[in-house]
Structure 1
Amino acid sequence: MKLLRLLPMTAMALASMSAMADSTTDLVNALVAKGVLTEEEGKLLSKGHESEKAAQDKVLEKSSKSGGKVTISDAIDNATIYGDIRARYEFRRGEDSSNITEDRERGRYKLVLGVKTNAGDFYSDIALSMGANGRSDNSTFGNAANSSNGSNTKETVYVKRALLGWKVTDWLKVEAGRVANPLYTTPMVWDGDLTFEGLVEKVEYQWGKVNLFANFAQSQYIGDRQDFTIINNDRVTNDLMAFQGGAKFDINERVSAKAALTFTKFSNDHAPGAGPFVPGLGSDSGRGVSLGTTTTATNDIRTIEIPAEVVFKLNDSMKLMAFSDYVTNLDGKDRYEAAVAAATASSAARGAVIRSAGHDDKAWLLGVGLSSQQGKQPKRGDWSSRLWYQDVGIYALDPNTVDSDFMDSRVNMKGIVLKGEYFLRDNVVVNLAVGHANRKNDKLSAAASQSDIALNLDSFSLYQMDITYRF
């Protein structure tokens, strides 16, 4: 409280000092006019007083802006605290080929708290959140072990982002640490909660009316984890490399488009852990059934992805969007042959089934969206909705990175998703989402590295409703 009372007094003192500096300048000018001082002596004195006045004005401006707010460091230009709190109701239902069903109903909550800073050409982003695994920041109500007699355990907070950035030029940024996903993509390929760990380069360049962009990432992780595999007594790190180039441009005053081409590859073409990725069989059923062997393996994944969208401006606030995504795994046949060989070595019959199922190494998504937004930033009354269908082959994508919600973290699934949101306040959003999916290839499992339903899914439904408070 004493500090707050001193702030206005300090500001008044500084203002008085500034006024004194102005009076001194007038006095010097008068002495020069009467011949007491030469012009050179007057300029020298005036220059000194002007420097003092500029320094005092800078202190005064900083004092008036800070008020009673907490400052971090004189080296920091500004700092912004941000975050969100979300409460969610969720219902999941899964069914396998033997008509065994599993329902999972739960309340969930999420907390993210972060701070962004800028200091000249450098910036940072530090954020904390719940959720030990990268593909989910959620915690379940009453999530306690059975032996705890129902006690409600306190959740652990983890580092979600620890980003150091450098704006090298007007068109190039370099970021290092635990970095937000820089790629223009869709949840079919990358879960929205995932971050990269390593180095990222971002390029944005305006070429006439076309906004060119490029994103490059070198990351040491496999989906939710990273892996250091020992091969022939050598320890090898499996790095993920991603290279993306694209453009955003106006077709006319009411129509704009965006598209990109992305190449992604794991730097070491080997299988983490015990062996290559091998999907389970579609006929396997029951709770806790195996979805395959080493389903976290990233051997033979070298993909080309093409995300795109076209936006139609219907009026000043309403927009219609058509969007898509297409992925092909250039090494899909090798991934398939490695699975056949590994399965045959343990069981000729299982190997024969996997061979007969083919090497589906394509994934695609097609959707539409409609939104109403009054300005550049969302406001009370704004809303949006998106509807899409996606189809993911068993060997097309990395099971460690696909969306954890609407396909239950699985590949070899196809289905439809509807999402909608409405802003009750500028910072309060209500979301409603529903989705339904089926296994694509009945001969093979709906393979996953992690999943919430402990069945070899033949069909899957998900319903979510949540409210988010942003600050």
Structure 2
Amino acid sequence: MKLFRMLPIAAMVTTSLTAMADSTIDLVNALVAKGVLTEEEGKLLSKGREGEKASEDKAMEKAGKPGGKVTISDAVDNAAFYGDIRARYEFRDGEDTAHNTEDRERGRYKLVLGLKTSAGDFYSDIALSMGANGRSDNSTFGNGSNGSNTKEAAYIKRALLGWKVTDWLKVEAGRVANPLYTTSMVWDGDLTFEGLVEKIEYQWGNVSLFGNFAQSQYLGDRQDFNTSTSDRDTNDILAFQGGAKFDITDTVSAKAAVTFSKFTNDHAAGASTFLPGLGSNAGKGASLGSGLNATNDIRTIEIPAEFVFKMADGMRLAAFGDYVCNLDGEDRFQAAIAAASAVSASYGSAIRTAGNDDKAWLLGLGLSRQIGKQSKEGDWSARLWYQDVGIYALDPNTVDSDFMDSRVNMKGIVLKGEYLLRDNVVLNLSAGHATRKNDKLASVTSAGDIALNVDHFNLYQMDITYKF
């Protein structure tokens, strides 16, 4: 029989290629493809070689030599280190209505170091990064006194415990990467969620359905006292997203979702009220309002979507967008009027006259070239978009920290391009220009890098990233 005829060949191959399991298995697969072996015979030989390789790996690990994978403990099936190092040059400038200007030029760097593990249907993701602030993993060159050469601290970026409940459901807890399909207009890419996340992926014919649900504590540690008034309420973010990805034709695909999000501390005891400043405020450190971290009356519907058109030679054209409506925007507006009127009648009148703006939207185009399924040396991409963010539409604490300087009540255009110098080395060039949307109100930020009530803002970045 063919199996007995091939046993001497298999013995010779496995003896001469003891340290090359992949090559042996490739040879067996080739023999199956040519009809020399049946699939069952091929599986039998491959299984034997895989068992030998596992024994060899164990022996090497006991001898203190690398065995082809990171070993954490016998209980862990797989473990892998990952991360990236980035160096960046950045220039940003702002100008207010009184023509006061501020330029900021700096070199920056970033380090992310992570470890992913899996054990059966459980998995983990632990990552450290620089930057104490949630919306930035960056550190600035020379960030200290002359000659101090201050060493930077690494912080916990992610501490995730996951459970693959079924083929279509995952549950994650801890400090978790943002699970939502969204854009930087709404959520800065460096932000994480803290709490519980559920992810659904289900194939229905040629449609890939997905759902992402998050219960994140924005401000935790609830405290109740029966002998004082120093109670502390929690503030949770509840997000519920459903969407689909599907092929319209062989060359056109689409992806879209609908997301409902709510901040739970709506007028809770001790919660502050969002109150924007006025557009006439000028000069360094000008007032942008009060309660700028407040998340009262934010209950949004977000609709992100993208269409991708495949072309020849790995080229792809993408049209993408995002739309957000704050369903409680009118309440947020009226609360601001009341808070301003409590300060002065003229302040309340100015806020009322400025009007309500509780919508945000983004539209853009992307062009890219990628030959294989994974990005390789020589691949590139470029994305151009315009966004418009109303002052009562979004939480000022979550919007992108770069191209709108962590601000709402801004509109502008962004161009981002990247080129792979190597499979794991990426060169990025980015530029953005923004202006204040409603001139009667401040360009509100709780953490802007420019200390002006900006009317015009520009940002230019060039960076190189090494991934490992």
Question: TM class, shorter-chain normalised?
Answer: 0.7 to 0.9
**Offset at 1:275?**
2.4
SS at match of 1:221: strand
Q: Deviations over 1:437-467 (max 9, x none)?
A: 0000000000011110000010100000000
Residue 253 to residue 316, structure 1, CA distance change in 2 (3 Å): farther
Matches for 1:344-363 after TM superposition, within 5 Å? 344-363=341-360
Q: 1:393 aligns with which of 390, 410, 416?
A: 390
Q: 2:464 aligns with which of 456, 464, 467?
A: 467
SS at match of 1:350: helix
In the alignment, what sits opposite 1:108?
108
Distance (Å, rounded) in 2 between the aligned partners of 1:56 and 1:254: 43
Matches for 1:249-288 after TM superposition, within 5 Å? 249-270=246-267, 275-288=272-285
In the alignment, what sits opposite 2:445?
448
In the alignment, what sits opposite 2:82?
82
SS at match of 2:232: strand
Q: Is structure 2 residue 418 aligned with structure 1 residue 421?
A: yes
Q: 1:152 aligns with which of 136, 149, 153?
A: 149
RMSD: 2.2
Residue 89 to residue 58, structure 1, CA distance change in 2 (3 Å): closer
**Offset at 1:228?**
5.8
Residue ranges of structure 2 left out of the alignment (5+ in a row):
1-14, 19-47
**Offset at 1:271?**
6.1
Q: 1:63 aligns with which of 51, 58, 61?
A: 58
Say whether the 8 Å CA contact 1:227–1:272 is kept in structure 2.
no
Say whether the 8 Å CA contact 1:227–1:238 is kept in structure 2.
no
Q: Deviations over 1:365-393 (max 9, x none)?
A: 00000000121111000000000000000
In the alignment, what sits opposite 1:306?
303
**Offset at 1:63?**
3.0
**Offset at 1:235?**
2.0
Q: Percent identity?
A: 74
Say whether the 8 Å CA contact 1:271–1:297 is kept in structure 2.
no
**Offset at 1:267?**
1.7
In the alignment, what sits opposite 2:324?
327
Distance (Å, rounded) in 2 between the aligned partners of 1:421 and 1:56: 43
Q: Deviations over 1:220-241 (max 9, x none)?
A: 126xxx6869895432111110
Q: 1:198 aligns with which of 190, 195, 209?
A: 195
Distance (Å, rounded) in 1 between the aligned partners of 2:108 and 2:285: 24
Residue ranges of structure 1 left out of the alignment (5+ in a row):
1-11, 16-52
Q: Is structure 2 residue 231 aligned with structure 1 residue 234?
A: yes
Distance (Å, rounded) in 1 between the aligned partners of 2:290 and 2:268: 11
Comparing 130-139 with 59-68, greater Cα deviation is found at 59-68
Say whether the 8 Å CA contact 2:232–2:270 is kept in structure 1.
no
**Offset at 1:291?**
0.8
Q: Which amino acid aligns with 2:308?
A: V
Comparing 56-65 with 439-448, greater Cα deviation is found at 56-65
In the alignment, what sits opposite 1:5?
none
Aligned residues: 416
In the alignment, what sits opposite 2:120?
120
In the alignment, what sits opposite 2:175?
178
Distance (Å, rounded) in 1 between the aligned partners of 2:49 and 2:303: 54
Distance (Å, rounded) in 2 between the aligned partners of 1:227 and 1:152: 37
Distance (Å, rounded) in 2 between the aligned partners of 1:246 and 1:56: 42
Distance (Å, rounded) in 2 between the aligned partners of 1:236 and 1:276: 15
Residue 449 to residue 55, structure 1, CA distance change in 2 (3 Å): closer
Q: What TM-score does the superposition give when structure 1 sets the normalisation length? A: 0.85
Q: Deviations over 1:228-259 (max 9, x none)?
A: 69895432111110000000000010000000
**Offset at 1:268?**
2.4
**Offset at 1:54?**
12
In the alignment, what sits opposite 2:402?
405
Q: Deviations over 1:267-313 (max 9, x none)?
A: 22126866200000000000011111110000000000000000000
Say whether the 8 Å CA contact 1:437–1:460 is kept in structure 2.
yes
Say whether the 8 Å CA contact 2:233–2:269 is kept in structure 1.
no
Comparing 67-76 with 384-393, greater Cα deviation is found at 67-76
Residue 272 to residue 183, structure 1, CA distance change in 2 (3 Å): farther
Say whether the 8 Å CA contact 2:325–2:393 is kept in structure 1.
yes
**Offset at 1:74?**
1.3
SS at match of 1:235: coil
SS at match of 1:253: coil
